[in-house]
Structure 1
Amino acid sequence: MELNTLELKNELHTLVTNTNDEEVLFRVKEYFTELKNKDDWWHSLTIEQKNKVEIGTQQLDNGLKFSNDEVRIEIDKLLQQK
């Protein structure tokens, strides 16, 4: 039996309404929040990480980028110096 969205919401509402177990309610709330935010990885980043992403985006917008081949060549040069 496949539920439509309204039926599923009603069933979830009934399950929540019929329990007084705070631990269950807390865990359901946390899980729901985690699932809802899962697609938006931005919210899980620290301020420092967000700043680095923004700097990188600005660098790309300004043409400051290297191809994969260019990076490999530079890495090979650095490794040969050791």
Structure 2
Amino acid sequence: MQLKKIKKFILKVCPCILGSAFLLQAYTMPVFANTLSNNYSSQSISNARVEQVTWKYRTYKGKKQRRLWSITYEKWLTDWLPA
């Protein structure tokens, strides 16, 4: 008698557990894919920035000159020009 109750219980519970496992697996897949694509797009937006530049001045052979320096990339952008 006890064995019949256990079998009945197992036959009721197993399909519920298997069914919920399949439903949860199918439900979570699109969430992970969507999250990854959002991270990628936010990352590409965060890398965009405005280049910062400044003019550097000097006196060469009695004449004032200027040259454009990129603070962002740490390189000269122009040759020495008369100021």
TM over 0.5: no
Return the structure number with greater strand share. Answer: 2
Larger Rg computed on CA atoms: 2
Return the structure number with greater helix share. Answer: 1
TM-score w.r.t. length of structure 1: 0.26
Higher relative contact order (CA 8 A, sep 6+): 2
